Structure formats: structure tokens, C-alpha cells
Amino acid sequence: MPRPILATIHPAALRHNLDQARRRALQSRVWAVVKANAYGHGIERVFDAFRSADGIALLDLAEAERVRALGWRGPLLLLEGVFEPRDLELCSRLALWHTVHCDAQIDWLAAHKTQQPHRVFLKMNSGMNRLGFAPGRLRSAWARLNALTQVDEVSLMMHFSDADGPKGIDGALAAFDEATRDLPGERCVANSAALLRHAERTRADWVRPGIVLYGSAPDYPEHDAAHWHLQPTQTLATRLIGVQQLQPGDSVGYGSRFVAEQPMRIGVAAVGYADGYPRVAPSGTPVLVDGVRTRLVGRVSMDMVTVDLTPVPQAGLGSEVVLWGRAGTLPPSAATGMARPVDSHAVLPIDEVAHAAGTVGYELMCAVAPRVPVAVEEEDGAGLPA
């Protein structure tokens, strides 16, 4: 009997969220961003749901090879471009489009021997100061690229630093428009937050949604996933493997961080920071037990967490514990042999858990550990190991 923990991927939700992104994108073509192994979901597990995207964007060359191996023949974009000259050989061989953000990448292209001219996305630094050419240097970079026989088409891209917050996109967009005013080429701008919050002003040839596809709101807690009509695409669930009855003054876990003030039952769930659940999640972080909302008590251990069973008195050994995502995804437990009542429509948004732990949904979904088995939900609702 393996540990009862399971991550479940929900393809119907991935499809739904891509549709939502596409509706907001209007005429723009949509890159489905699948970097970081599809935000922790697994590229192979999301691929089918994202087949209808106009292109697939990522940044790791090995991941690009995996996407081509799945049979994807459409546009495939390296968001950070190449890391060293020989990466260009793979770009030629797999027809990868790639970002160009610095002079060295242009030097490497100029020295690259290829029969296949490359499509490149010239990146402007619009104030985030990570990658890209300063606005004043964009034109000379464009002219250099445009003169290379190794390059066929030059597109123009930028990335917003503040699309999710009060600073917004005005300054960055104005700088981009100004710097690219009469340059030819397709434009590629918005990330998820810009697409959701500023759709009318980020019309472009291409948009690059990532996190929305995975059902997390980029501007939580100002707006939640339900506000943006997004569905959770990943569930992390496990079961109770122990129950303790506490008396007033009894404490729980390492450091005795939680002390009971009255008699209470607590459940011990088979998940810990070695599974990717954040160790910094404090007492009070929401969880679902048998579909009922309750809270973490005490410190997160490597392999276990402890939860308050007060709101769910019928819970016991084998009860389902959802760390984020949807209730009712675990296969029936042979160990306990009993079907317990589960509110199978209950949802615990990953953003709520992330917020309680002082982070963002992105980090939690990317961090699910390799030791956690993953199932892909079948469209009829049954889980399948994958």
C-alpha cells in the first residue's frame, strides 16, 4: 500500500481556462506558456488540453524537445532565447522561435550556420531590468538582426512588471510603443495579469498567458480565481493516517507551536514539506477534510501535517484531506474500506493556501515533489495513473 498522497491534474479545467484566456485575447494569437514543466503539472499531461493554442512557449531546451516529441508542429517559442551558441543548432533542427534579449545572442546568431532562417522575438526592457534591450538600444539591435541571413522575421516583445498591481501597465506600454513606433514586425506583450486586467489596452498579435491556464488568479487577493472564471487544474490530496484527542494545554508537533485551549480532535495527514507543501504554512492555513473546510494546527513536518477536526466530527482514519484543489479526487481507499461522506463539490483555491503561506499559487503548483504520484483525471471524472 503506497502512501495515500496523490496529485491530480484536471484536463477539462485546463481546456476551460485556455478558453477563458482566448476570449479575453480577442483577435490576438495565444501562446500557452508551459515553462517549469507546465507550472508543475507535467508537459505531457497538459499537452492535449493545450493543442488548440496558437503556440507553445517555454524556456528550457529539453522541454522544447519534449513538446516536439509529442508531435507539436506549431510555433514553439523560447522565452529567454538561447543560453549558448550551440543551442542554435537545436533551434534550427526543431524550428524553435527564440527571444533575443542581448547583444551576445545576436553575435551567436551571426556566427550560426543554418539553412533555416530563424524567427526571433526581439525583447525590450520596459523597466523590469531583467532581460531585454533598453528602449534607446532597441533600434540598433533590430537593424543588426534584420540584416542577418540567419534571421527571417523579427517580432517585438516586452514583459510587464506590474500588470497585477496598482502601478499597472501604462508606463511600460508607452515606452514600448515609443521605442517600436515605426518598426515592422508582430507585437507580443501580455502575461496573464495584463490579459485579465488590461485586455482592452494590450491588443497585440500575440499574448502569453501562463498562470491563468492553471486556474490561479495572478492578482489574488484583489480578485480570486472564481472572479476570473478560472477552474483549478491541480489537486493535492491525501488521507488521515492518525487521529489524536487533545486536552486543554496539550500541544501539537515540533516546537509545540499549537496548544489546545479546549478538548479537541486533531487529524494527522500524510503530506509534508518533502511533498512540496510549504513548511512556512502557519496554523490556520485552510484545508478540506471530507470536503469540509478546516485548518492546519501546528508546524508542517517533512511527511505529516496536523489538522483541526472540530468542524468535521465524523472524520477519522482514511478521511480525505485536500491541501488545494477539488474534493473527491482520491480513489476509494481499500485500507479503510468505508466510504465517508465527502462534499465532492468543495474546492480549496490554491491561491488561498499560498496567501496564508506568504507566497503565490505559482510557487505551490511548481513545487509538488517528484515523490508525489500524479494522476490525470479522465474526462468522465475517474482518475488514471499517468
Ligand X SMILES: *Cc1c(COP(=O)(O)O)cnc(C)c1O
Sites of contact with ligand X (CB under 6 A): 33, 35, 79, 159, 191-193, 208-211, 218
Residue tagged active-site, from 113, 254, 273, 277? 254
- Beta carbons of 195 and 159 less than 8 angstroms apart: no
In this structure, are strands 151-157 and 187-188 parallel, antiparallel, or unpaired? Answer: parallel
> Residue 243: helix, strand or coil by DSSP?
strand
Q: Residue 226: which residues within 8 A CB-CB, separation 6 or more?
A: 349
The 3-class secondary structure across 302-360, one letter per residue, is CCCEEEECCCCCCCCCCCEEEEEEECCCCCCCCCCCCCCCCCCCCEECHHHHHHHCCCC
Q: Cell 484583489 identifies what position?
A: 222
**CB-nearer residue toward ligand X: 72 or 228:** 228
Nearest approach, Cβ of 248 to ligand X (angstroms)? 46
Smallest separation (angstroms) from ligand X to the CB of 211: 4
Nearest Cα residue to 261 out of 274, 272, 250, 273: 250
Closer residue to ligand X, CB minimum distance, 17 or 329: 17
Query: What is the C-alpha separation between 104 and 111, in angstroms, rounded?
Result: 11
Least distance to ligand X, CB of residue 97, Å: 13
Q: Which residue has the cell 492535449?
A: 48
Distance from C-alpha of 244 to C-alpha of 261, rounded to nearest angstrom: 15
Helix (H, G, I), strand (E, B) or coil at 23: helix
Q: What is the distance between the alpha carbons of residues 10 and 21, in angstroms, rounded to a whole number?
A: 17
Between 75 and 383, whose beta carbon lies closer to ligand X?
Answer: 75
Q: Using the minimum distance from each CB to ligand X, give the nearer residue, 37 or 192.
A: 192
CB of 203 to ligand X, least distance (A): 16
Strand, coil or helix: 196: helix
Work out how close the CB of 75 gets to ligand X at its nearest, in angstroms, rounded to a whole number: 14
Q: Residue written as cell 477563458?
A: 20
Cross-strand partners of 264: 246
DSSP-derived 3-state class of residue 172: helix
* Amino acid found at 322: V
Nearer to ligand X among residue 15 and residue 197 (C-beta): 197
Residue 254 among the catalytic residues: yes
Q: Report, in Å, the least distance between residue 239 CB and ligand X.
A: 32
| For ligand X, the closer CB: 79 or 353 | 79
The residue (of 59 and 237) whose beta carbon lies closer to ligand X is 59
Give the whole-angstrom CA distance, residue 138 versus residue 131.
12
**Residue 156: helix, strand or coil by DSSP?**
strand
Q: How far is the CB of 244 from ligand X (least distance, A)?
A: 40
- Give 303: exposed, middle or buried? Use CB within 10 Å, 0-12, 13-18, 19+: middle
Torsion of CA 271, 275, 276, 277, to 10 degrees: 10
Closest chain position to ligand X (CB): 210
Q: Considering the complex, what minimum distance in angstroms separates the CB of residue 191 from ligand X? A: 4
Nearest residue (CB) to ligand X, 141 versus 327: 141
Tell me the three cell numbers of residue 187. 507585437
Catalytic residue numbers, as ranges = 35, 254
